[in-house]
Structure 1
Amino acid sequence: MTQILDVPGGEGSRRRKVAFAAFIGTTVEWYDFYIYSTAAALIFSHTFFPPSTNPLSGLLGSFAAYGVGFFARPLGGVIAGHFGDRIGRKRVLVSSLILMGVSTLLTGLLPTYAVAGLWATVLLVLLRLLQGIATGAEWGGASLLSVEHATPRNRGLLGSFTQIGSAAGMLLASGTFLAVRASVSADAFAAWGWRLPFLFSIVLIAIGIFVRLRIDEPEAFLRAKADGKIRRFPVAQVIRHHPRGLLVTIGLRLAQPAMYAILTTYALSYLVLKRGDATMALTAVLTGSAAAIVATPLWALLSDNIGRRAPAVFGILGIGILVWPFFLFLDHGDLAYLPLVVAVALGVFDAAVYGPGAAWFSEQFPIEVRYSGVSIGYQVGTLISGGLTPFIATWLFSVGDGSPWLISGYISFYAVLSLIAAYAAQDPVREIRAAAAGAGSVPLNAKDPA
């Protein structure tokens, strides 16, 4: 048995403060990341790319630029993992917020293709690259901040506050876009209104930095540093000595992010092509994100009691099955029910996988390489699935002559791989609870500080 988290947990008020800081920071980061994905589906194809008579051409270009952010995320994970495992979690997290804020603000100030030509496209891709690096640095540190401050009995629950930030960021991003679209004409929104959510980001970034500067490093990291357990090259260590943890984490990050990208990004453009409007899809993303905010900590709490694997397997199976009737519904169903459908998909199946994730991934790695292992595994898996899914789905839709069934098969294939990873992953919850019942602190493994 390898990984039982090695922290005694801080005082209750301190843990709540850290959980709030993780939630606020990830909400801001994901708001910035998701306003880009929303704009990519609705605006960027005809704003930053050459005019084309084929709407799929501009959309493919827009989603390719969107995917660049995901390609950059493993790089952000490697950089953050190296420094996070050497100098601590806090400074890396503050730096990631600053980088995200600057790149998002500049995106809102970019000239269009009509003004700057190809330079507009190049700058858009470059800023998306910086967004991806910032996001890759964010998640691992924020999740460890929560989990390493937790007690043995509530690591899933406290870790879920990082996960809630993703849904809250999507909720805030979709709500901001809906508010702007409702406040200005369609022409004004296409001309300049889409920029407002990007410019608003600077306020959120300032709040996030203020909150993060007021938190402390986890005691587990400080203790490992004092005991001389810090590695000079933690990334190399995790690749050489913990390949199983990396592969398991990557595998668990396939089905859920891919389906999430379908529900929150690709469905917007799909409805524009099939039904001529995506307004109801934006509303559905709002309701789905709200459902995920409520459901994610509940699934995480359940995982603290019965283990991480059972909720995840339930969610993965649901994703692999749901994707087939989902496209049938988009083609022929009453879109008034779309918010309910997305709420069930995100609140029941997606949250069952995502909720326990922060704690579960942390349990695959020892303290001295944990930031590196969690970040690299999480971001590589998300790149393969979530980052490429809108582009691949658009391509499959094209080669399938407008049929969505190749897309459904693609998501179901990822579900099979995630199921294999779920059964290969270590699930030490029962051992954690048994050890916690007899001791005040629980080491992650024999090599970790007690």
Structure 2
Amino acid sequence: MSASAPSQQGALDPRRKPGRVALASYVGTTIEWYDFFIYGIAAALVFRTQFFPQFSETAGTLAALGTFAVGFIARPIGGIVMGHYGDRVGRKSMLIISLLMMGIATTLIGLIPTYETIGIWAPILLIVLRLIQGAGVGGEWAGAVLMAVENAPPRRRSLYGCFPQLGLPSGIFLSQLAFLLLTSTISPEAFAAWGWRIAFLSSALLIVVGLMIRLAIEESSSFEKVRDSGTVEKMPVVEVFRTSPKQILVGSLASVAAPAIGYLVSVNMVSYGTVTLGIPTTTMLWTLIGVSVAWILMMLVSGLAGDRFGRKATFAFGAAIGVVWAFPMFWLVDTASLPLIIVGLVVITAANSIMAGPQPALITEMFPIRVRYSGASVSYTIASIIGGGLTPLAATALLAEFESSVGISLLVGGVCLVSLIAILSASRRTLEAGTIDSDRPAPDRVRG
């Protein structure tokens, strides 16, 4: 057998087919985001009464959402640790570890006794498990994205890279559907007492499915080239900060807007619609489920657009929509008219989709393969802390301060403007710093 046979067989290995790897990344991220978002919905709906009953309604809601934000504190830790080992050991093993961390923590949250039963230990345990969730998801995004992008055809990296991103609206869809079914089939008293736990305990079954799928795929071909050539970095996190500080800055700031919009729609909009506007919980959940379906379709289109029109131009267009639509969205939502609410939310999620579709390929191509997991993880987790972790808290506080949606509109427009400026100011050299690979196609990846 010739020396090239193994590599030829590897190229034909069905476990490394781009479509199969992209599908595995999608399913895994969907499960992890389901775990992440059921926490956010439960924090908005029931955690105040179950874990923080000693506070007033506003203070209790802030405390409950504060535990949601705590998960973002652990994200950089998870991103740095998994980024280090993802660049040294491989992408696949880190994805399996992150899935297990999320699944076990989520299942245990469903078993925590309430404040009434064990007192202060209830919120303490909640925070500890939320930290584990945050660490798990901190290393998830980059690993799933790298597996999809690095195994994709060179001219289809934006499209294949958007599949892990589809896990976000899909996770929102499943989490909202789970709570919709629960709130529709049991009484409000039963839901508050024990029904919410079913959504968390069901994660155990989903994790088994996710593990089966992820164990069936092969390691990233790009990482294997680095490992086989003996150029694996000893300290990839240190190296990426030393060699790519501009990429980390641009990647972090550009990535702020998408999670801010995502968490605003998936977390705050549930409580805003039900508490502030007086819309029934089931109606609000059905509305967000419909928006999530549109969200998925729009993200696929934006992934295609990233390959056709360029990552930078596509991303900037989405950020610009977010800036322009920040105030009109809430003008429509505040009417409490269901058709107008749907229009407002569909357009703002379109802004999210247009940014999030090309984002994986955009971020991935900023960093060389040998430090790519670390660079992508650090950039994304920093952005998630600012855009995702603080957004629900800030939105709740601004609503209480202004007693209107003006403050939240300013918040949304502001973070979208930050991302727009970051991406427009980035040079082609910065955005393509990691694309000096043997399989690099000559034409423009980041044109626009």
TM-score (norm 1): 0.91
> Quick one: distance in 2 between partners of 1:305 and 1:435?
21
**Secondary structure of 2:155's aligned partner:** coil
2:301 is paired with a residue whose SS is helix
Distance 1:392 1:342 in 2: 19
Kindly provide the amino acid, as one letter, of the partner of residue 408 in structure 2. Answer: I
What is the deviation of 1:441? 2.4
Partner of 1:28: 31
In the alignment, what sits opposite 1:45?
48
Q: CA deviation at 1:305?
A: 1.4
Asked whether the equivalents of residues 150 and 158 of structure 1 are also in contact (C-alpha less than 8 Å), the reply is yes
Deviation at 1:417, TM superposition (A): 1.2
Q: Deviations over 1:281-324 (max 9, x none)?
A: 21222112111211112111111111011221111111122221
Mapped pair 1:181 → 2:179: no
- Give the corresponding residue for 2:202: 200
1:66 is displaced (CA, Å) by: 0.4
- Inter-partner Cα distance in structure 2 for 1:319 and 1:117: 43
Q: Contact 2:180/2:285 (CA < 8 Å) preserved in 1?
A: yes
2:253–2:383: 8 Å Cα contact kept in structure 1? yes
Mapped contact 1:78–1:372 kept (Cα < 8 A): yes
CA apart distance, 1:11: 5.1
Deviations 1:112-166 (A, max 9, x none): 1111111100001111110000000100000000000011110001111111111
Shift of 1:32: 0.4
- Residue by residue over 1:161-180, the C-alpha shift from the partner in whole angstroms, topping out at 9 and shown as x without a partner, is 11111111111111111011
Kindly tell me: are residues 383 and 318 of structure 1, through their superposed partners in 2, closer, same or farther at Cα, counting changes over 3 Å?
same
Distance 1:340 1:416, change over 3 A: closer
Q: Quick one: which of 318, 341, 344 aligns to 2:344?
A: 341
Q: Distance in 1 between matches of 2:134 and 2:83?
A: 15
- In 2, Cα distance between equivalents of 1:435 and 1:306: 21
**Bigger mean CA deviation after superposition, 38-47 or 323-332:** 323-332
Cross-structure match for 2:164: 162
Q: Is the 2:277–2:336 Cα contact (8 Å) retained in structure 1?
A: no
Partner of 1:130: 132
Provide closer, same or farther for how the CA distance between residues 333 and 124 of structure 1 changes in structure 2, counting only shifts above 3 A.
Answer: same
| Paired amino acid for 1:90 | K
Aligned partner of residue 234 in structure 2, secondary structure: coil
The CA distance in 1 between the partners of 2:427 and 2:79, in whole Å, is 22
Picking from 356, 359, 363, the partner of 1:357 is: 359
Residues 443 and 328 (structure 1), Cα distance of their counterparts in 2 relative to 1, 3 Å cut: closer
Query: Shift in Å at residue 220 of structure 1?
Result: 1.2
Report the TM-score when normalising by structure 2: 0.91
Structure 1 outlier segments of 4+, above 6 Å = none
1:237 aligned partner = 239
Per-residue deviation, residues 259-290 of structure 1 (Å, max 9, x unmatched) = 22222111222223322343332122211211
Work out whether residues 259 and 323 of structure 1, in 8 Å CA contact, stay in contact via their aligned partners in 2. no
For CA contacts below 8 A with separation 6 or more, give which structure has more relative contact order. Answer: 1
Structure 2 unaligned regions, length at least 5: 1-7, 443-448
- The corresponding residue for 2:420 is 419
| Alignment match, 2:260 | 258
Of the three residues 14, 17, 21, the one matched with 2:20 is: 17
- Whether the aligned pair in 2 keeps the contact of 1:41 and 1:266 (CA below 8 Å) is yes
Superposed CA RMSD in Å reads: 2.3
Of 115, 119, 122 in structure 2, the residue corresponding to residue 120 of structure 1 is 122
Structure 2: which amino acid aligns with 1:405?
Answer: V
Q: Residue 101 in 1 paired to residue 103 in 2?
A: yes
CA positional deviation for 1:333: 3.6
Task: Tell me the secondary structure at the aligned position of residue 153 of structure 1.
Answer: helix
1:435 to 1:135, Cα distance in 2 relative to 1, 3 A: closer
Contact 2:325–2:347 (CA<8 Å) still a contact in 1? no
Whether the 8 Å CA contact 1:364–1:425 is kept in 2: the answer is no
Q: Which residue of the other structure, out of 148, 151, 175, is the alignment partner of 2:150? A: 148
Q: Which amino acid aligns with 1:32?
A: D
Query: Which residue pairs with 1:90 in the alignment?
Result: 92
**Residue 332 of structure 1: SS of its match in structure 2?**
coil
Name the counterpart of 1:293. 296
Identity of aligned residues (%): 39
Counterpart position of 1:442: 440
Please point out which of 306, 310, 326 is paired with 2:313. 310
8 Å CA contact 1:41, 1:268 repeated in 2: yes
Taking the aligned partners of 1:130 and 1:443, their CA distance within structure 2 comes to 40
CA distance in 2: counterparts of 1:288 and 1:250, whole angstroms: 27
